[in-house]
């Protein structure tokens, strides 16, 4: 159930990527306007995490998650019924407010149950399971888009969300043993965030993940227009290609499960950020050299997602693992920075789209270099003596 919950964000973004060109045609709007449905979702997802974290520390994981699920279902109904792009953008904003409960609370539940040392391994296991669900999402999305139009993908998300809500109501037990009424007091909340913000390692792990996620959102924002619009890939074929890249993430997550106990989270974080930087650099170089082909995009992105399978679990363990009492707040900060970077990346790539792969590919390259440098500067290098 937690695996399915973590997949809810990926499905809510991946399944709608294939629908972006259809939204452009249906509403008669520009590419950048259609991409605001993605940027609004990511921005709301980021902001909401800052609220869900303290709420889950105060009221528990179960109640917080169920409340978010109800909001998600109502907003998804609004997406299906949206008569204009403006209404759809607003509905996507509220859909994200509801959906982000699973991301924040799910990470906190993993920390509650598995502790500091077990978090990276468990997140790797979740990554494998999550990948299986997300692999199917783009394939289904491409078929639904071609057969029934863009609203069909939101109908699928509504059914998925309803099943997830029912499962949470029936099966999810409370996992947080440290509930404290002070955790929703504004002063205590700010003090908890201050503790996290003052920690160099928290920043390093958080930024490694955030920059990698910015690269993912750069791809999400531009892939359908580059592959389908520029290179002539059909909607079903786009779904298959998108799912193929997710297998890279699955493979990286599987390696994390097998290796993390032997090598440690930091070594996996080092390997992941270096491999991602190499893949992002290759994609950007090919685009700048004028190479326009499916292979020039999909191959380096596949390798990049392998690296994310190393980076993400290790980064979560490093940023959230040490904070048992305020794991929800730590998860919220981690998720907020991740999604803020993603929203900005998606917006910039959308605004700069020029009918070539260059804005998307360069955006991915910049994100992978940001993750690599964050590890080298903030995680790998110890603080200077006296600082």
Residue-level pLDDT at 184: 54
- The predicted model gives 64-68 an average pLDDT of 86
Is residue 340 situated within a structural domain?
Answer: yes
pLDDT > 50? residue 385: no
Please, what is the average pLDDT of the chain? 83
56: CATH: 1.20.1250.20
- The predicted model gives 40-44 an average pLDDT of 84
Least confident of 18-32, 67-81, 359-373: 18-32
Comparison of pLDDT for 385 and 171, the residue scoring more: 171
pLDDT > 70? residue 3: no
pTM for this structure? Answer: 0.73
Least confident of 181-190, 195-204, 245-254, 283-292: 181-190
pLDDT > 60? residue 75: yes
Count the domains in the chain.
1
Identify the top-confidence range among 241-255, 288-302, 311-325. Answer: 288-302
169-183 pLDDT per residue, tens: 887 777 666 655 555
pLDDT > 50? residue 384: no
- Residue 325 has phi, psi (to 5 degrees) of -70, -35
- The predicted model gives 46-62 an average pLDDT of 78
Is residue 355 situated within a structural domain?
Answer: yes
- The predicted model gives 230-249 an average pLDDT of 85
Residues 138/15, Cβ–Cβ less than 8 Å: yes
pLDDT band at 7 (very low <50, low <70, confident <90, very high): low
DSSP secondary structure of 219-234: HHHHHIIIIIIIS---
pLDDT > 60? residue 241: yes
Is residue 196 situated within a structural domain?
Answer: yes
Percent above pLDDT 70 for the chain: 85
- The predicted model gives 249-274 an average pLDDT of 84
pLDDT band at 150 (very low <50, low <70, confident <90, very high): confident
Helices (H), the chain: 2-17, 20-27, 31-59, 61-81, 85-148, 151-171, 186-197, 200-223, 235-263, 265-288, 294-320, 327-352, 358-374
Is residue 385 situated within a structural domain?
Answer: no
pLDDT > 80? residue 154: yes
- The predicted model gives 305-310 an average pLDDT of 93
Is residue 359 situated within a structural domain?
Answer: yes
Residue-level pLDDT at 81: 93
**Residue 108, domain extent:** 2-172+183-380
Q: Label residue 384 exposed, middle or buried (CB < 10 Å: 0-12, 13-18, 19+).
A: exposed
Is residue 386 situated within a structural domain?
Answer: no
Residue-level pLDDT at 336: 85
Structure tokens, 374 = 């964050």
Is residue 177 situated within a structural domain?
Answer: no
Please give the Cα distance from 281 to 359 (Å, whole number). Answer: 13
279-299 pLDDT per residue, tens: 999 999 999 999 999 999 999
Least confident of 87-101, 104-118, 286-300: 104-118
Is residue 25 situated within a structural domain?
Answer: yes
Nearest to 339 by CA among 220, 233, 211, 236: 211
Identify the top-confidence range among 53-62, 260-269, 347-356. Answer: 347-356
């Amino acid at each position: 159930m937690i695996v399915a919950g973590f997949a809810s964000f990926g499905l809510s973004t991946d399944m709608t990527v294939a629908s972006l060109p259809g939204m452009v045609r249906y509403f008669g709007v520009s590419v950048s306007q259609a991409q605001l449905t993605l940027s609004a979702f990511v921005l709301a997802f980021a902001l909401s995490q800052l609220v869900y974290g303290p709420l889950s520390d105060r009221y528990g994981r179960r109640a917080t998650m169920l409340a978010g699920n109800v909001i998600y279902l109502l907003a998804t109904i609004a997406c299906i019924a949206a008569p204009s792009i403006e209404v759809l953008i607003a509905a996507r904003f509220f859909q994200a407010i509801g959906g982000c409960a699973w991301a924040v609370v799910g990470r906190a539940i993993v920390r509650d149950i598995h502790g500091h040392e077990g978090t990276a391994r468990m997140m790797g296991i979740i990554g494998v399971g999550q990948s299986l669900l997300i692999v199917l999402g783009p394939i289904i999305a491409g078929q639904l888009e071609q057969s029934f139009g863009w609203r069909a993908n939101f109908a699928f998300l509504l059914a998925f969300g309803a099943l997830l809500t029912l499962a949470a109501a029936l099966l999810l037990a409370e996992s947080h043993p440290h509930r404290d009424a002070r955790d929703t007091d504004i002063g205590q909340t700010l003090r908890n965030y201050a503790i996290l913000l003052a920690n160099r390692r928290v920043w390093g792990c958080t930024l490694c993940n955030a920059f990698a996620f910015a690269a993912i959102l750069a791809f999400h924002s531009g892939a359908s227009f580059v592959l389908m619009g520029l290179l002539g890939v059909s909607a079903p074929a786009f779904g298959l290609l998108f799912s193929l890249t997710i297998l890279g993430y699955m493979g990286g997550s599987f390696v994390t499960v097998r290796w993390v106990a032997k090598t440690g989270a930091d070594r996996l974080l080092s390997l992941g950020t270096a491999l991602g930087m190499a893949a992002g650099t290759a994609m950007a170089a090919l685009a700048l050299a004028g190479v326009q082909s499916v292979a020039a995009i999909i191959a380096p992105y596949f390798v990049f997602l392998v690296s994310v399978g190393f980076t993400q679990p290790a980064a979560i363990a490093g940023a959230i693992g040490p904070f048992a009492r305020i794991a929800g707040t730590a998860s919220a900060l981690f998720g907020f920075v991740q999604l803020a970077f993603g929203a900005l990346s998606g917006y910039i790539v959308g605004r700069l789209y020029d009918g070539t792969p260059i804005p998307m590919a360069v955006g991915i390259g910049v994100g992978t270099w940001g993750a690599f440098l964050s590890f080298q500067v903030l995680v790998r290098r110890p603080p200077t003596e006296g600082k």
